[in-house]
Structure 1
Amino acid sequence: MPKLRCTVDNCSYNKEEYCTLNYILVDGDGQVATNVEDTCCTNFDASEYTLSNQEHMAQAVVDIKCTADHCIFNEDNVCEAEEVGMAGASTCTCSQDTQCGTFRCGRS
C-alpha cells in the first residue's frame, strides 16, 4: 500500500496531511486521463467535522484504488506507487478540484 500525503486542507478527511479513511479512489476517467489534471480523489468531502473524521485515526498508508488506466502505477485498478500526493487548492468545493500529483501517463 502506498504512503499518502494530502495537501487538500479543506477535505474533512485530511488530518495533518494524512487521510482518516482506510482507502481512497482516484478517478482517472478510465482511458481519458493523460495528465495530472484529469485525475481526482472521489472521496473528497468539504463538510466540516464529519463523523468519519471523529472516529478514525489519520494514517500515512492507505489502500488506493485507481481508474486512471494509463497511469504507470495502476495495476488492475490498484495504485502501486510507493508514495502518492493528493493536491488541491484550499478552496476546493468538489472532488474535481483535487488531483493526484503522482499520476504519470504511460500511454504510448
Structure 2
Amino acid sequence: EHRLSNQRYLSGDEFTWLDLRLFMTLIRFDPVYTTYFKTNLKRIADYPNLLGYVRDIYSMEPVKRAINMKHIKTHYFTSHPHLNTFGIIPISNGPDLALPSGREKLCTTATK
C-alpha cells in the first residue's frame, strides 16, 4: 500500500511482469480469497492504493479481455468439495474494476 502511494507500478513508472503476477492474486482477493480462504479481516477495497493499482492494470485492454471472473469464482468454489461442500458461489465480484484508477498522475517520466 505504501509503495503504491508514491509510484504507479511496483518498480516505478514501467509495468513489468511482477505487476502482472501481483495483479493476478489481487484480482482474486476480494471476490474469492476473503470468503474461500477466510482472509476477510481486510479487503483490497480497504486499501485505496492497492484498489487503484488493480483498476489501473485491469484497464489495460489485453488484461481486461483475459479476466473472466465467473470462471475464476466457479473454479475456486467448486474445485475443493471439502472446503465448499455445496458448491455455493458468492454473487459479489468485488469492487468495480471498471472505475478510473487515477494512477496516471503518479508517473514521473515524460512518457505518462
Does the alignment reach a TM-score above 0.5?
no
Q: Is the strand fraction higher in 1 or 2? A: 1
Return the structure number with greater helix share: 2
TM-score, normalised on structure 2?
0.27
